[in-house]
Homo-oligomer: A and B are copies of this chain.
Amino acid sequence: MADPNATYQDVQAVIIRFAGDSGDGMQLTGTQFTDTSAVYGNDISTFPDFPSEIRAPIGTLAGVSGFQINFSSEDILTPGDAPNVLVAMNPAALKANLDDLERGGTIILNTDAFTEGNLKKAGYHHNPLKDGTLSSYQLHEVPLTSLNRTALKEIGGLSSKEIDRCQNFFALGITFWLFDRPLNTSFKWIKEKFAKQPKIAQANQTALQAGYDYGNNVQIFQTRYHIKPAHLQPGGYRKITGNDALALGLVTAAQKAGKTLFYGSYPITPASDILHMLATLKHFDVRTFQAEDEISAIGAAIGAAFGGIFAVTGTSGPGIALKSEGINLAVMLELPLVIIDVQRGGPSTGLPTKTEQADLLQVMFGRHGESPVPIIAPATPSDCFNVAIEAFRLAVRAMTPVFILSDGYLANSTEPWLIPNPDDIPPIIIEHPTAPSTTEKFLPYKRIPETLGRSWSIPGTPGLEHRLGGLAKQPETGNVSYDPKDNEQMNRERADKVAKLADIIPEQTLIGPTSGKLLVVSWGSTYGSVRSAVKVLQAQGQTISHAHLRYLNPFPRNLPDLISGFEQVVVPEMNLGQMLFILRIHCKSHRNFIPISKLKGQPFTIKELVEKLGALLLVPQKVNGDNL
C-alpha cells in the first residue's frame, strides 16, 4: 500500500474533524474512520456535535453537523482539543469549525460546494478560498462532488441524489489515504449495511476506493502520516459510547442477579439511545416500556421494582424534574431502582444536544422533605458499564433508588472498551424472603443490621402480604403512623442507610503526592481532560495531585482526610460550582476551595485546564475560603 510519491511521517496522535450538513452523513463518516482506527489498534476517543434541529436548511450554519476523532499510538483520554485536520463539505461547515482548528492545521474542502449561493447561506460575504482567510492553514481544495460523480458514473442505475450521497465516502477515502488506514473495515461495513441494495453498496465502495486513489494519484498532499497502534492492555476491544455502555451494564447487572430487566423511559436527548439499545435486547428478557411521559416512566419502574425485577428509568434534566415526586415515593417505599440522568445544557430546554454537569444539586436535593439518594457518576464512556452494575449493587443493598449521573458528552463519545469476560463479573446475590415462620410476624420494614436496608419481599409470595405507602410509617411494620417519634426515626434510618453505603464504597484514591499545594478534584465526564491536564503539568515537573470522584453520595469514607492534606482544592466543573458546594459541606475543615466553572455546553479542553491550573500553581490563592 506504500506510495512512492509521498513521504511518510510518524506522529503520535492526530485529531480530525469531519463537518458538513446534517444530511451529509458526517456522523457516519466519522464513525467509519473511528472503527478503522480502532481495529487498526490506535487508542481512540470521539465526540459528535450536532444541532438540535433534525436537518436545518441545507448549507446554513444551523445545519452543520460535526464529528471529531482523536486517534493515537499512546493512551488518550479525550477527543482532543483543537483538531489538526478539518474536512469541510461546504462553506457553512468551514465557517462553523474554522475557529477550532489548530493554527497551521490541514483543511480538506469540497470546492464544488463553494458556490455563490452556499457562501451566502453560510454568511460569507467573500469567498474564503480567495480572500486570504485560510492563508495560515494547509489548504487542500478538492472538487469532491464532481470527482465523486465521475467515479460513480460507470455504475449506472443510480439517481444523481444517490450518487451525491456517496460523497462522504469519497472524502473518507482521501483521509484513509492520508493517514494510511486500511479500507477493509469500511468495505465490510458497507457490504453488510447495504446487503439488500447491492447497487448502493457498490457505489459507496467505489467512492471510498476512488477517494483513496485520488489521494494516491493526485499530488496535493506532500506527506502521509503514520500513527502506530497503541500499547493498549492486551485483550478484546470494541468501541463504545457511554449510552451503549450503560445499556450493556444494566443488562449485565440483571443477568448477574438472575433478574429480568425493566427499562421505563420517555424519549429525550441525550438519553434516548439507552432505550433504543435496550429495545434490541429482548432476548435477555429486557422489557422496555416507552411511557407517555417521565412521570409514568418512574411510576412503572417503581411498580416493576415492587414486582421484584431490576427496574431502571432514564432521562435527562427536565425529565428528572418531572420524576422527582416519584423518586421520593421510591425513597419512602424503600424499593431498589436505578435512575439515570444524562445531563444536558440547562436550565429549561437550554442546549439539549450539548453537555453540562449542572444537575448535581437537583439529584442531590430536588425532592421535598428529607430524601437521601445515592449518586454515582461515570468517568468515561466505558466506565458507564461498571457504574451501571455498581448502581444495582448499591440499590439492592440499601433498598433504595440510586442515581447514575452521566452527561451528553459521555453519552455520545466513544472510546475503546476492553471487553470483560462476563464470567469474571461477580454475581449480585439477592434473597427475597419467603413465607415467614408461623411464630414470627412478618415485618416488611425490619432493618438488616449490616446494611440498614430492609428485605425485598415481593407480591406473589404466600404469607408476606403487606402494604407499602407514601405516608409516614411505623418502624418495622411499615404501618401508617402519625406518631411524631416514628416519623423522626424513619427519616433518620433512611439517611443512615444511605450513609452506611460508605462501608462498601472504595476509598478515594489520587494520582500525585498525597499532600501538597494543589489538589484537583473532579467528577463525571471531566475525568479525561482533567487527568490529561494534570499529567501535562506533572510532566512539566509541577507538584499537583488529582482525585476523581465516582461516588458522589455518600462520599468515600476517607475523602475529608484526603482533602485536608492540601492547601488548595480546585474543582473544575461544567456548572457554576455545584460539587464544590457539596464538598464544602462535607469537608468542613477545609477552607480553600477554588472553582473552575464552564457553562458553554462543551467539555473542558486540556489546554484551558493546563492554563488555569498552571496559573494557580504560580499564584496561590488566599487561604480564606472566599473564592467561590
Contacts and interface: CB of A to CB of B under 8 A. Distances in A.
A350 B366 contact: no
A347 B331 contact: yes
Contact of A585 (B295, B346, B495, B581): B581
A346 B325 contact: no
Contacts of A317: 368-369
A492 to B, nearest CB: 8
Contacts of A472: 345, 350-351, 601
A110 interface: no
Interface residues of A, number: 68
Contacts of A469: 349
Given A350-B471, A599-B487, A366 B371 contact: no
Interface in A290-316: 295, 316
B470 A348 contact: yes
Contacts of A189: none
A369 B354 contact: no
Contacts of A51: 482
A576 interface: yes
Nearest to A486: B600
A326 to B, nearest CB: 9
A461 B345 CA distance: 33
Contacts of A625: 588-589
Given A322-B325, A366-B366, A588-B626, A488 B598 contact: yes
Given A345-B369, A347-B370, A368-B321, A589 B626 contact: yes
A585 B585 contact: yes
Q: Nearest 9 A-B pairs (CB), nearest first?
A: A346-B369, A317-B368, A484-B600, A366-B366, A347-B369, A348-B470, A349-B470, A332-B348, A361-B365
Given A328-B347, A591-B591, 6 more contacts: A331-B348, A346-B371, A492-B576, A581-B585, A588-B625, A589-B626
Interface of A: 51-52, 295, 316-318, 320-322, 324-325, 328-329, 331-333, 343, 345-352, 354, 356, 358-359, 361-362, 364-371, 469-472, 482, 484-485, 487-488, 491-492, 495, 575-576, 581, 584-585, 588-589, 591, 598-602, 624-626, 628
